Structure 1
Amino acid sequence: MASTEILHESGKPVGDDGLLSEKEADSDSQHDHEELDNFDDDSPIDDVRVTIPNHDDPSIPCNTFRMWFLGLLFAAIIAFVNQFFNLRQTTISIGSSVVALLTLPLGHFMARVLPTRKYTILGWSFTLNPGPFSIKEHVLIGTMTSVNAGSAYAVDIVILQKLWYHDHKHFIAGLLLVWTTQVTGFAFAGALRRFLVRPAHMVWPANLVTASLFRSLHEHSDAAEDANRIPRMKYFAIVSLFSFVWYWLPGFMFPTIGVISWICWIDPSNIVLSQLTGSAGLGLGTIALDWSAINSYVQPMVTPWFAQVNILVGFVLVVFVMVPWAYYTDLWHSKNFPILSPALFKQDGSPYDKDRILDANRVFDRQKYLEYGPMRMDSFFALTYGVGFAALMATVVHVVLYHGKELVVRWRSAQHELKEDVHTRLMRAYPEVPNWWYGVLFAITISLTFVTCVVFKYMPWWAVILALAIAIFFVLPVGIVTAVTNQQPGLNIITEYVIGYIMPGYAIPNVTFKTYGYIVNVQALAFTSDLKLGHYMKIPPRIMFAAQVVSTLICSSVNLGTATWLITTRPYVCTQQGYPFTCRNTNTFYSASIIWGAIAPARVFGHTDGALYASVQWGFLFGALIPIPFWYLHKRFPHIRWLGLIHWPVLLTATSSMPPALPYFYANGIFVGFIFAYWIRRHHHRWWARYNYLTSAAMDCGLAISALAIFFCLQSWGGAFPHWWGNPQDELIDHCPLATAPLNPPPKQTGT
């Protein structure tokens, strides 16, 4: 992939978040329109000029049989693979970069073997082979996957209902729920085009990386540049083969080397040592040799080193300072619980039985709650909510302090920028998606949303309106921040909080409200981001619209079908006995449904019925205040460079995925990040620019193929590797089994 220093349109280097400092924004804002005048034949943004060509050939084919066949095929395959691994102990997510590399030779192969004969149906002429496989076809294939790369969020609601709440709704109910949450956001993109796609200043930096990848795969470099270097496709194949072969060791034959908690070997019977160093505890010194653990959350070969340093600082402060202090001082009776667990407990440390506080209609019963006792969680879980509150406020305050004036400039330019840049002018060659297409899509999806939520009793009609209102209200400001800074604030905490106070006691309506309020916003911006990629790569908007909507309907169906198959065929799925299908993400989702829905925030973080975690809400105030002194110091001492690199939103969101993520995922990921994102990039930049992203994609691809081969060829047929000391009888291997033990174990049950 091409590697360039990211510059502002003024030619000045920008920070890692893609914005100028406040002072530079002030001096630069008055020249916005003048810059456009100076770049009539190119983009006024330097990042875009060096990445995106300022010309286009409208005759290049893109709406082809090859595109639809490969795009839908691989989108469905990736949807299956990602959903399959989403329920496993360590998750794997295959992104569009892997699909781009895999489909390139297939596209060229189809261009060679498909017939060129023209067919006519009802007056419409077409051919299966319009010529060489084009970059526009390839971009459409990749974007079909990118918008569906993860599991559909609403699938967890279906799993939750069946496994935890014993509410077996018809498959159609779950399908409509998944479809509407995934597609409704697309309807908002029509209104966002004017503000987030067409203006030159709405850059969407991540799309420049994607565009660089596709251009590197299709544009030929000169022979001198490629001399004495391994071709990209050959390198990708070699690394993928290595990853495929290696994963057979930690994934099947020698699982004890997947994660090595070597410090615990000093005294495995010591609970404190196990809690601090065990892989299921805080993981101090734990070594991971399983790529799925290393790459799960940090993505060390892709995430910039600046961001990884902020993640490291936040990780250390929470995991190795705040949590041990809270746990070993017995804050909130922490010693009664494991040091790290997404589970919920009674005060004595015994598991919390949510059935004891729900009535026959699966609704919260206050009298039963008072008789049974309040819900408790471990200190790690509680603190991560407090840090999450702080991160939400810090994001707002940080953007206002550091980049407020520039964002106002961007907003005004998005509203009033009459002078079009070259890319907007080039896109005039293609018919725009009519507004009525978006209107019809919105009418259909909103109607199906009301039917889904009201008929199948997911939540009341007024909750649908409120959830969508939150998504719509935040979509433009969040979109502007994302388009300029490449950072996207999440709305999950806000939505849980709002419905938790308005409608306490109802778990499924709570998570449904959260999904519509949060994911509709996410999907709207995901589709808008892809529209911007199409804008850069000159993809006809109508074809992009059709490809994304069709692929999302298919992929969300595959997500739901895969999850339904797994939870109905795998014994003990989503429990420790069902390893490796322990559903860490879904277990955390379940705990959130109890905390925010069944019991509600007033009884957890408020002052009702013995709420214990009210102090966690101070995180809101902390997050609002903490960026201010660092902003002042940065303004007061601009020559101290490291002050400008402190990014509290990134720092505070470092632990937002724990649980379900485990600490050793982060520690090992950042170690790999130091090697590739810092050392190799700094000292061997040419290798990094050519092979870094290919290495990450190849490792992901080889591991995924290996894990699927192990499961479908062996494990699904009852095949198992012979037991030996490297593969003991207990499938859930942990060198420190006491890492999940509480210091004060609950009393033994003597009866029912």
Structure 2
Amino acid sequence: MLEQRTEHSNEKEPVHQMEDMESFSITLEEDENSPIPEVAAIVSNRDDPSAPVMTFRYWVMAIFFSILLSFFNQFFWFRTQPMTINSLVIQLISYPIGKLMARVLPYGVLNPGPFNIKEHVLVALTANCAGNTAYAVDIIVIQKIFYKQDFGFLANFLLIVCTQTLGFGMAGVLRRYLVYPAAMIWPANLVQVALFNTLHKDEDLKPGQWSRFKFFLVAAFCMFLYQWIPGFIFPVASSIAWICWVKPDNLVLSQLTGASGLGMGAISLDWNNIVSFLGSPLIVPWWAQVNIAIGFFLIAWVLVPIAYYANLWEAKRFPILTSGLYREDGSKFVVSNVLSNNVLNETLYAEYGPLRISTFFALTYGIGFAGLTSMITHTWLYYRHKLVAQWKQSRGQSEDIHHRLMQAYPEVPDWWYAAIFISMTAIGIITCEIWDYKLPWWGVLLAVTIAAVFSLPVGLIQAITNQQPGLNIITEYTIGYILPGRPIANATFKTLGYISMTQAMTFVGDLKLGHYMKIPPRSMFWAQLLGTIIANIINLATANWLLSTQEGICETNPTFSCPMATTFYSASVVWGVVSPNRMFGPSSMYNAINYFFLIGFLLPIPFYYLKKVFPNSIAQYVHIPVLLAATGMMPPAQAYHYTNWLALGFAFQYFARRYHPEWHLRFTYVLSAAFDSGVAFMILLSFFIFTIRGVNMPDWWGTRTDLCPLEMQPYYAPPVENN
């Protein structure tokens, strides 16, 4: 929810795409195979231990693509319309480059033979470890921009390194339970395996039929050319709130139909805008999109308007959709007015007045509470028997064909992982003790303990169901009660507890992919560590560069408004400065939000029994955790992002999949990667040619930003601020 990272949650649910993956299945010639049917259909039961892996070609491509991906994603993270380039792009681009290097390099140490699938997998996995922006960058940004505090490069680097790498140490322990056993499927990896196998087998092309790579290049080039229209020449095309334009001076119409309001009827012709917060709709299965659609419409277009115009929690004093912080009278809440040395001064807070947030923002916290508890109930109801059975199987029958094939390679010694875990924990303690993060040493240990304790049960759920419960709410709620009034301590604790577990799941998932593809474990170890360290350096360098060169970044800069960081900042105020007891405690007007924990816990139960009674009804497609997570990115995401995202999803995941299945299977994922690549190169080229030099498109109607001027106005005008 909100500041929670969702780059993995927007991935496809491969369990519901088995018929798609079976079309990629490879021919198996041996009798013995995995006891799991899905794995047997996709993963090869053969291996060639002599195949070279960490070749010169690997090192060149792994380092280059890790730098490229970490820079791109950190750069786009600051943009008003952020974007994430996933490792699928690297998977596609690295294949022809590897083939080319195998052809042109002299045979020998630099070129030991044909570019093989193991090299390819390792390149993609290294880049994948570099692809996710470091969560601790959020802390650095809010410190510098909002709390006017800068601990310097060394402190920032150490914080990023320990939070991003702690999970690597946990993965070493978890591999025995979540990687080796055949029962631990990790469904998302099966799609990756299928795509790798597809690329490395000769395509049987019909006359005139394009290869996937040719299609990728043409689609990426076309998107690169097109993106100049909404991205530079005609930015109004990014959010066409045509209903609002009919009568722009009507406040209610603006709130309901404006792009920054509830976006009813708003259209976007900008791929970057559509995928900026939710990821690509081309890779999310239709059943999940239907649940997201239902959740979005019920929450954003039914519950929120009713609550707003009924003036729930004095809603009309604030804009209808915002993550802003306000005083009781609707004026801006200036956090520095209640802080002393970045710690809450209770006397100043009592004089200044309580913090108020928009009703939508408060409800999204409630929906997040409900989503967390609904995941527990849903997992227990739908997967308890499977979890127990496969856990027992994992303990007694882990020696499947894939595990035995991996015995050909020396395993990573436990002390390697232990050394990383202990050293990163020590770095976390030293960093927080030397610099003034307001988080004592025992707070670091508590955060790490929470991550370590939850990593196995969360991993069991994700390995079987492809669902990952997040710990961000639990961590910020916990430390908010223990250390109230300390925003930086709250953000640091949350990062240590939440992102360490999330990183552990990323590393373990990649280890399972390496297990399926028979990558030597020690090669995997160094590849994952390489990608992570490169990302740590590039993420911080990119962030520092933008923070020092872009005037008004994260505050008044229209191109780099940092929507993720501003929401992260708001969360640090809600949970850290004000604290959960003041914000949602018995004396708070938002106390009813706590009932969402109970609502979420109970909500999956009736749908579970409806499915039992009516097995072929629509109840079988209802997935309460997905439905509740629908608006998890609002704010900073806007409502029209969802409607346009769902429209594209319908076009590809329903219409194309149903009526043009062959084209869908061959090109949909490739098209998604191509569009991401085309947009990325256009934005970077535009930035270095125009933005960095202060050159803008000449003003005309297509560049106006005042076509719907009241969309962010509250129903009641706030008084003039006197700060």
TM-score tier (shorter): over 0.9
Q: Distance in 1 between matches of 2:92 and 2:86?
A: 11
Deviation at residue 88 of structure 1 after TM alignment: 0.7
Aligned to 1:692: 668
Structure 2 residue 652 is the aligned partner of structure 1 residue 676:
yes
Describe the shift of the 1:722–1:399 C-alpha distance in structure 2 as closer, same or farther (beyond 3 A). same
Aligned to 1:340: 321
Query: What's the offset of the Cα at 1:6?
Result: 7.0
Aligned twin of 2:713: 741
Match of 1:268 among 238, 248, 266: 248
* 2:382 corresponds to 1:402: yes
CA 1:314–1:5 in structure 2 vs 1: closer, same or farther (change >3 Å)? closer
Give a deviation string over 1:678-734, Cα, whole Å, max 9, x none. Answer: 111011110000000000000000000000000012221222222222124xxxx25
- For residues 517 and 201 of structure 1, the distance between their equivalents in structure 2, rounded to whole angstroms, comes to 27
Q: Shift of residue 15 of structure 1? A: 12
Q: Does the 8 A contact of 2:14 with 2:187 survive in 1? A: no
8 Å CA contact 2:13, 2:284 repeated in 1:
no
Aligned partner of 1:34 in structure 2 is none
Residue 621 of structure 1 is aligned with which of 598, 605, 609? 598
CA contact 2:488–2:576 (8 Å) conserved in 1: yes
Q: What SS does the corresponding residue of 1:719 show, helix, strand or coil?
A: coil
Partner of 2:550: 570
Q: CA deviation at 1:455?
A: 1.3
Is 1:474 paired with 2:454?
yes
Q: Name the residue aligned to 1:349.
A: 330
Deviation at 1:14, TM superposition (A): 8.6
| Conserved 8 A contact 2:18-2:38 | no
Does structure 2 retain, via aligned residues, the 8 Å contact 1:298–1:670? Answer: no
TM-superposed deviation, 1:254:
1.1
Q: Does 1:96 align with 2:96?
A: no
Which one of the candidate residues 152, 167, 171 is aligned to 2:149? 167
Q: SS state of the match for residue 747, structure 1?
A: coil
Identical positions, percent: 48
User: Given the alignment, which residue of 64, 67, 76 partners 2:67?
Assistant: 76
Matched, 1:607 2:586: yes
Q: How many angstroms apart in 1 are the aligned matches of 2:689 and 2:43?
A: 44
Q: Which residue of 2 aligns with 1:432?
A: 411
Q: Are the structure 2 counterparts of residues 593 and 15 from structure 1 closer, same or farther at C-alpha, using a change threshold of 3 Å?
A: farther
- What whole-Å deviation, never above 9, does each CA across 1:33-72 have from its counterpart, x for those lacking one? xxxxxx9611112211221111111111111111111111
Residue 677 of structure 2 corresponds to residue 701 of structure 1: yes
Structure 1: stretches of 5+ with no match in the other structure: 17-38, 118-126
Distance (Å, rounded) in 2 between the aligned partners of 1:94 and 1:457: 34
- Look up the equivalent residue of 1:207 and give its one-letter code: N
RMSD between aligned alpha carbons? 1.8
Cα distance in 1 between the residues matched to 2:180 and 2:599: 38
The residue aligned with 1:514 is: 494
CA contact (8 A) 2:331 2:720 kept: no
Deviations 1:567-591 (A, max 9, x none): 111111002x201100000000000
Q: Cα offset for 1:284?
A: 0.5
Question: What is the CA–CA distance in structure 2 between the aligned matches of 1:280 and 1:198, rounded to whole Å?
Answer: 48
Cα separation, 2, equivalents of 1:724 and 1:667: 27
Match of 1:725 among 701, 708, 712: 701
Structure 1 position 612, deviation (Å): 1.8
Cα separation, 1, equivalents of 2:153 and 2:396 = 48
1:403-460 CA deviation, whole Å, 9 max, x = no partner? 1111111111222225x21111111111111111111212221221111121113211
Match of 1:537 among 517, 522, 532: 517
- Corresponding residue SS for 1:210: helix
Structure 2: distance between partners of 1:113 and 1:230:
25
Report SS of the residue matched to 2:630.
Answer: coil
> Residue 74 of structure 1: CA displacement?
0.7
Q: Distance in 1 between matches of 2:557 and 2:187?
A: 41
Compute the displacement of 1:7 (Å).
7.4
Q: Deviations over 1:194-218 (max 9, x none)?
A: 1111111111111111111111111
- Secondary structure at the counterpart of residue 63 of structure 1: coil
Consecutive aligned runs of 4 or more in structure 1 exceeding 3 Å deviation:
4-8, 13-16
Partner deviation per Cα, 1:638-687 (whole Å, 9 max, x = no partner): 242x1111110000011111111111111100110001001110111100
Whether contact under 8 Å (1:40, 1:422) holds in the other structure is no
Which moves more between the two structures, 510-519 or 626-635?
626-635
Q: Tell me what 1:60 maps to.
A: 51
Which letter maps to 1:659? Answer: P
CA distance in 1, matches of 2:207, 2:166: 50
1:188-587 equivalences under 5 Å are 188-223=170-205, 226-296=206-276, 297-359=278-340, 361-418=341-398, 420-458=399-437, 459-575=439-555, 577-587=556-566
In structure 1, distance between residues paired with 2:282 and 2:597: 32
Question: Are the equivalent residues in 1 in contact too, given 2:14–2:191 (CA < 8 A)?
Answer: no
State the Cα deviation string for residues 527-572 of structure 1 (Å, max 9, x = none): 0000000011111010011011121011121111111111111111
Q: Secondary structure of 2:714's match?
A: coil
Amino acid at match of 2:520: P
- Give the conservation status (yes or no) of the 8 Å contact 1:288–1:668: yes
2:694 equivalent to 1:712: no
Q: TM-score, normalised by structure 1?
A: 0.91
Structure 1 residue 607, shift from structure 2 partner: 2.5
Q: 1:5, CA displacement in angstroms? A: 12
Q: TM-score, normalised by structure 2?
A: 0.95
Which residue in 2 is equivalent to 1:22? Answer: none
Secondary structure of the residue aligned to 2:388 is helix
Pairwise CA distance, 1:298 = 4.8
How far, CA to CA, are the matches of 1:529 and 1:594 in structure 2? 34
3-state DSSP of counterpart to 1:147: helix
Equivalent residue letter for 2:563:
R
Cα distance, 1:109–1:639 mapped onto 2, change above 3 Å? closer
Distance in 1, matches of 2:521 and 2:506, equals 15
CA distance in 1, matches of 2:13, 2:526: 35
Q: Counterparts of 1:572 and 1:205 in 2: how far apart (Å)?
A: 43
Distance 2:458 2:446 in 1: 18
Distance 2:638 2:136 in 1: 23
Paired residues of 1:95 and 1:145 also in contact (CA < 8 A): no
Counterpart of 1:604 in 2: which secondary structure?
A: helix
Equivalent position SS for 1:590: helix
Q: 2: CA distance between counterparts of 1:536 and 1:429?
A: 14
